[in-house]
Chains A and B, each alone.
Chain A
Amino acid sequence: MFRIALRMLAGDTGKYLALVLGLAFSTTLIVQQGSVFTGLMRRAATQVESVPQADIWVMDGATRYFDERRAIEDTAVQRVRGVDGVEWAEPIFFGMGTAQMPDRTFASVQIVGVDRAARLGLADRFEDGRPEAIAEPDAVYWDHLNLDIYKQVRTGTTLEINDRRARVVALASAPRIFLSTPTVYTTYQRALAYSPGTRKRLTFVLVKVKPGHDHGEVAARIAAATGLGAKTRETFFWDTVFFYLKNTGIGINFGLTVLLGFIVGAAVAGQTFFTFIMENSRHFAALKAMGLSNRTLVLMVLLQALAVGVLGWGLGVGAATLFGHNITDRSVVAFLLTPQLLAISFLGTLVTVLLAGGISVRRVVAVPPAVVFR
């Protein structure tokens, strides 16, 4: 009888399509908007993720997330290197500056300064130029992702960053960050030179943990030994993501869009399914008259609901995936499809179809088989 249930469902092409497409639409909205949301959230902490060699980030003890930075003493690098379990520790500088363009316009820029030898945190993909020239005087990389805003910047362009000369030797291609501020990469010492002088200059110490040591334990040892803050890469990443999530309203705003999509899709699909079942109630009554048990009837309706649910969900995920197919971490549009999102969307679809199926089946079970004689 289950095959018959599926044939009953698929045979009514119009309603079948409306059902499947309603659920697909709902799923697409959930998955697409959800993926854009997770993609954007990931960008909030892209720079933490983009140094995969570092297991631990050491910072000022009051730092809550990546963009909240207070400089620490340069000697922190040596102190961290002395902690048990640390394989290596390297400095990295993050700061802000003003870059004056050749045409006298200017741009606020993020300055990233990395250790000349270790090169941790430096862009590693380039669109143009001579990356090896970073050791030359005044050499910087300009993140090409913002070239659509600052078209005048090319390899060889000479800028002034905080009144000091900078020469673009390569156009870097780094993963996009949450803000649209262009990023300038250079050596650690040159980055310090571009930044206004304060007593403390170091932003973070990047730490590699020796094999066999627990990252969390080493982070705790660093914090205890230096009095600084120390977070594993994962902790720092999620602290940053959750800070934006909690304090910017982006979660609620995206959540509302997703919820609206879910409600519209679920309402369309639920109503269509209910109508489909009600229109077939006479046939179901005939089946009951012929001896079909209520249990089998319930299972038939739930199977029909599940069938459209799984198909609609699959099509919806497919459509959303198609949307995100060519989107990378360098694209303007953010997109990150996670297993959790797939699970949530599947759960949402399941709730929709089971709810619609449950309401419909109650009505069908209540239909007396004698109705077939009326």
Chain B
Amino acid sequence: MTTTIVPSPLRTAVDVSGLRKGFSTGRTRIEVLRGVDLHARGGEILLLVGPSGCGKTTLLTLIAGLLDPDAGSVKLWGQALEALNAEEKTAFRKEQVGFVFQQFNLIPTLTIRENAAIPLLIRGLSQKQALDRAGAMLEKVGLGNRLTERPGKLSGGQQQRVAIARALVGDPKLLICDEPTASLDGETGAQVMEILRSNALQSERCTIVVTHDQRIFKYGDRIAQMRDGVVESMQDAPQSASVRAIAPAALG
């Protein structure tokens, strides 16, 4: 049975205002972000789109607290990142942020269950607890029968599902995805987005996805169009009926 979710007004999860960031290469300084304002709500998928070099990935790294902005602020659930020192930011990411990378970044010498357990091990859970929870999460993304295999044995779509399991296993409030379907074919990309979609619909989790892939636009709630270091427009995503029918998974 499927349930149609009607998004209700949710409280602000990500609040970015006046964000500026530049990089120096020799004598040249490039202003990548020129005053970005952006808001994302809990329970929604926000797609960040735009041409290459417009600042999408830089914005993502600033939201995740991996880089510091030159000016402006990033608030996650009301917590201003600039108020945190490096150690506190690391601790914040450990507890609150999950990542899905374009290149998966799975450690090839570990089994997929060990890979998925890493965020929990970083949090200090015991090996057994972490592996049990990682196994359960992999079960939910359809890889329960391949727990002891290494990533190299899996297809690109399966590896990305492992990466999603790793990102979700710690039940983060913010999920950051960088081109999660760029290395996948259309069908596999759709499967990956359906997992992200069903996950986003439960709890207050906010999912931000950087993408060039127009095929997955329908899985977002809103689309932020970036150009030349600013958010040019924000619009609702053209969700199809089939996407609207995706049920929230019993994840986490």
A1 to B122, CA, bound (A): 6
Count of chain B residues with Cβ under 8 Å from any Cβ of A? 32
The digit string for B82-107, where 1 denotes a CB below 8 A from any CB of A, is 00000100111111010101110101
Count of chain A residues with Cβ under 8 Å from any Cβ of B? 27
Contacts of A12 in B (CB 8 A): 109
Q: Is A370 close to B, CB under 8 A?
A: yes
A10 to B110, CA, bound (A): 10
> Is the Cβ of A7 less than 8 Å from the Cβ of B109?
yes
Q: Is A196 close to B, CB under 8 A?
A: no
| B25 nearest CB across to chain A (Å) | 14
> Which among B114, B122, B123 has the highest number of chain A CB atoms within 10 Å?
B122
> Is the Cβ of A287 less than 8 Å from the Cβ of B118?
yes
Known: A282-B105, A286-B101, A370-B66. A291 touches B95 (CB 8 A): yes
Q: Is B67 close to A, CB under 8 A?
A: yes
Q: Which residue of B lies closest to A293 (CB)?
A: B90
Q: Is B16 close to A, CB under 8 A?
A: no
Residues A2-24 near B (CB distance < 8 A):
3-4, 7-12
Q: Is B119 close to A, CB under 8 A?
A: yes
Q: Is B121 close to A, CB under 8 A?
A: yes
Q: Which residue of B lies closest to A292 (CB)?
A: B122
Question: Which segment of B56-64, B198-206, B224-232 sits at the interface?
Answer: B56-64
Q: Which residue of B lies closest to A12 (CB)?
A: B109
Give 18 pairs: A residue, B residue, CB < 8 Å, sorted on A. A1-B122, A7-B114, A9-B109, A10-B109, A12-B109, A282-B105, A286-B101, A287-B118, A289-B64, A290-B93, A290-B119, A291-B92, A291-B119, A291-B122, A293-B91, A370-B66, A372-B99, A373-B101
Residues of B within 8 A of A (CB): 57, 60-61, 64, 66-67, 87, 90-95, 97, 99, 101-103, 105, 107-110, 114, 118-119, 121-123, 127, 150, 178
Residues of A within 8 A of B (CB): 1, 3-4, 7-12, 280, 282-283, 286-293, 296, 368-370, 372-374
